[in-house]
């Protein structure tokens, strides 16, 4: 399990600007899409900016970073006061390696809509990824405590991941427990707690969290590989083998299955 991986669900930029159209459809019907948004009462520039932001995301998904940048720069010209456009700009500039510009646009989105927890989350993900752990944690916790935020457990869990990256396991555990206080069955927080327990040498606690995880979520390569390592640490070869068979049977081409095979070959 990769300890420092932030939850992908947090950076849901597509949700900020509306559903991303399929690229082929978007390219074929851009005029119609803008006309539809205008029909819903949006000024032309506002509708065009949001649509170009959607196109920027679509091009990012195909790996066309040059066109994605062109689209988001056009969107920023069309409506520089749209927070969702700035959030998308932050993502685009981060992907093309221009961190200073990315920082500026993520921060601008927060400034334009300071009570929007999604903006805080997106900026927090960026800060943690670039090693600004304290700032990222503060932003995550602000989002989690925002009364209009629908999934505070996600923000608390990400704050905990950020704390682990900053080598602060005690803070991380407190944040994961806050996530579980909000939603006791939240799989990502349960996995993080299990992994943290293994790291501390507390296999029994790790096993307990894995049992809670498997009772509430489907097995994944990450979860099975973590369960194998926990059972091995506890000396339960039979339980470890059961998880290993499941990992090799259900996810034979996964990175975790390759790690397992390598470990077995070297044993």
Q: Which CATH architecture has domain 184-267?
A: Alpha Horseshoe (1.25)
pLDDT bracket for residue 31 (50, 70, 90)? very low
Contact 186, 153 (CB under 8 A): yes
Q: Describe the crossing of helices 187-199 and 152-165 by its angle, rounded to 10 degrees.
A: 20
Structure-block tokens of residue 215? 């009772």
pLDDT score at 6: 59
Write out pLDDT tens, residues 217-228.
999 999 999 999
Q: What is the DSSP letter of 4?
A: T
Query: Who contacts 128 (Cβ-Cβ below 8 Å, separation ≥6)?
Result: 6, 136, 137, 140, 158, 161, 162, 165
Write out pLDDT tens, residues 97-109.
999 999 999 999 9
Q: What percent of the chain has pLDDT over 70?
A: 83
Position 19 pLDDT exceeds 60 = no
Position 40 pLDDT exceeds 70 = no
Q: What mean pLDDT value characterizes the chain?
A: 86
pLDDT score at 5: 55
pLDDT score at 41: 57
Contact 245, 264 (CB under 8 A): no
pLDDT score at 185: 97
Overall CATH class of domain 1-113: mainly alpha
pLDDT score at 183: 97
Write out pLDDT tens, residues 49-93.
999 999 999 999 999 999 999 999 999 999 999 999 999 999 999
Q: Do domains 1-113 and 184-267 have the same CATH topology?
A: yes
Contact 190, 209 (CB under 8 A): yes
pLDDT score at 243: 98
pLDDT score at 265: 64
Check: pTM over 0.85? Answer yes or no. no
Stronger pLDDT, 42 or 37, i.e. the higher one: 42
Contact 74, 44 (CB under 8 A): no
pLDDT score at 262: 80
Stronger pLDDT, 195 or 33, i.e. the higher one: 195
User: Can you give the residue ranges of every domain in the chain?
Assistant: 1-113, 184-267
What is the C-alpha separation between 51 and 39, in angstroms, rounded? 14
Question: SS3 for 45-65, per residue?
Answer: HHHHHHHHHHHHHHHHHHCCH
pLDDT bracket for residue 266 (50, 70, 90)? low
Contact 56, 92 (CB under 8 A): yes
């Amino acid at each position: 399990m990769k300890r420092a991986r932030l939850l992908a669900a947090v950076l849901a930029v597509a949700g900020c600007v509306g559903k991303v159209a399929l690229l082929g459809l978007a390219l074929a019907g851009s005029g119609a899409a803008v006309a539809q948004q205008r029909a819903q009462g949006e000024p032309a520039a506002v509708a065009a900016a949001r649509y170009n932001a959607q196109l920027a995301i679509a091009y990012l998904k195909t790996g066309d970073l040059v066109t994605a940048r062109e689209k988001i720069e056009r969107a920023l010209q069309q409506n520089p006061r749209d927070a969702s456009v700035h959030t998308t700009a932050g993502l685009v500039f981060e992907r093309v390696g221009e961190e200073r510009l990315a920082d500026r646009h993520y921060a601008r989105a927060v400034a334009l809509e300071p009570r929007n927890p999604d903006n805080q989350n997106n900026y927090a993900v960026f800060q943690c990824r670039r090693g600004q752990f304290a700032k990222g944690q503060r932003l995550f916790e602000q989002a989690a405590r925002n009364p209009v935020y629908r999934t505070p457990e996600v923000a608390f869990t990400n704050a905990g991941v950020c704390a682990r990256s900053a080598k602060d396991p005690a803070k991380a555990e407190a944040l994961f427990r806050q996530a579980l206080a909000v939603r006791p069955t939240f799989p990502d927080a349960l996995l993080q707690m299990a992994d943290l327990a293994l790291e501390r040498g507390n296999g029994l606690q790790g096993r307990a969290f894995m049992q809670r995880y498997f009772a509430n979520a489907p097995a994944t390569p990450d979860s099975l590989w973590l369960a194998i390592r926990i059972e091995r640490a506890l000396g339960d070869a039979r339980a470890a083998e059961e998880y290993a068979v499941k990992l090799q049977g259900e996810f034979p081409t996964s990175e975790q299955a390759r790690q397992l095979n390598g470990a077995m070959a070297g044993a």
